[in-house]
A = this chain, B = another copy of it.
Amino acid sequence: MAAPEIEQLIQLLSKLPGLGPRSARRAALHLVKKKEVLLAPLAQALARVESNVKTCSVCGNIDAADPCEICTDTRRDDSIICVVQDVSDLWALERSGNFKGRYHVLGGTLSALDGIGPEDLKIDTLVQRASDEAVKEVILATSATVDGQTTAHYIADCLENCNVQISGLAHGVPVGGELDYLDDGTLSAAMSARHPMS
């Protein structure tokens, strides 16, 4: 139908999360129409990411440097490691700007259904890092899903012999959230973790 070059571009774009075949077609057309301002820069940006970006061998973050900027930042606190499932979670926590320790990216969660076992996640390197005397606390910031919490419990067991405090994120009402729209689990968690207002 369209030129094979365009068909191939559509096919590749449709593999991106959030784009189906129809929206990939729209995106391809948009790119062809904006050759100078969008298509050419995007091709260059992809080539640059391809050659420069790598996975940090310490924490699993992706960055232009290895070890990554977060691992080499001397202003950060070496004594706390925050364990996250994925790089996107690391980015989300960095955006919130509250945490100034180090990270450890697991690369997923344990999942019996998908056949993901402990050996598929970077748990052994985490135990290794947590065994360092400098580390005082490990925050298990996996998702509040069944798989995420199973993974957190499994990791807590693995870290038993390390001399670290293990903590998890607080559950409760999201900031800006209306009670009416919240699920029962969140509400009951928020109720039992209620605190005195003074």
Contact = CB atoms under 8 A, between A and B. Distances in A.
List the number of copies, as a whole number. 2
Contacts of A137: none
- By secondary structure, the A interface counts as helix
Given A17-B30, A18-B19, A62-B32, A5 B52 contact: yes
B19 A91 contact: no
A26 interface: yes
A185 interface: no
A32 B15 contact: no
A92 to B, nearest CB: 9
Interface string A16-38: 11110001011111111001001
Interface string A41-84: 11101111110110000000011110001000000000000000
B38 A5 contact: no
Of the four ranges (under 10, 10 to 19, 20 to 34, 35 or more), the interface on chain A belongs to 35 or more
Contacts of A46: 9, 31, 39, 42-43, 46
B88 A6 contact: no
A45 B52 CA distance: 19
A163 to B, nearest CB: 32
A111 interface: no
